[in-house]
Amino acid sequence: DNEIGLMLSASQRIIDGLLGSFSKPGSIVFIGSHAADKVFVEQSVGYHVARGGIKSLVRYLAVTLGPVGLRCNVVSPGTVLKPENNGFFAGHGAPVQNNIERITPLSRMGNAEDIAKVVRFLCSDDSSFLTGQDLVVDGGLHLVSQEGISKKL
């Protein structure tokens, strides 16, 4: 319940509270998760439901805020290298990183900067006709079939 309330209800309240302060045309970008569409057993059911709800909230906001000049999109990163997990991947997680890189079409893991660049694009005028979308930033891994992954591993 806490995750659902934090991710959905609080997000909606913040946007409602700031609605008059947004520059128009403007952009709202959420950071999503593959947990909206896939099951990560280490995460709670609330996390999964909330992440799926973020995608629905983004679509709703895209339709309702579009007429007032606001675009709304979500960026869903794959597993990325970031300061919080660098120790893991540098140590016992090195085989995991190697496997992810083997099965990812771009043959590497992303990093926080890769995600930030997509967010920057969505906040720029270059994306002025893009709203209600979930941009998956995972080097193409979500496109690979289970069989394709199994063959590479």
* Residues identified as active-site: 47
Encoding tokens for residue 8? Answer: 């959905």
**Region label for 149, one of left (φ > 0), alpha (ψ between -120 and 50) or beta (otherwise):** alpha
C-beta separation of 65 from 72 below 8 A: yes
User: Which amino acid is residue 22, in one-letter code?
Assistant: F
The residue whose two tokens read 């930033």 is 137
For residue 114, the surrounding DSSP H or E stretch is: helix 112-123
| Beta pairing partners, 27 | 71
Closest CA to 108 of 83, 89, 88: 89
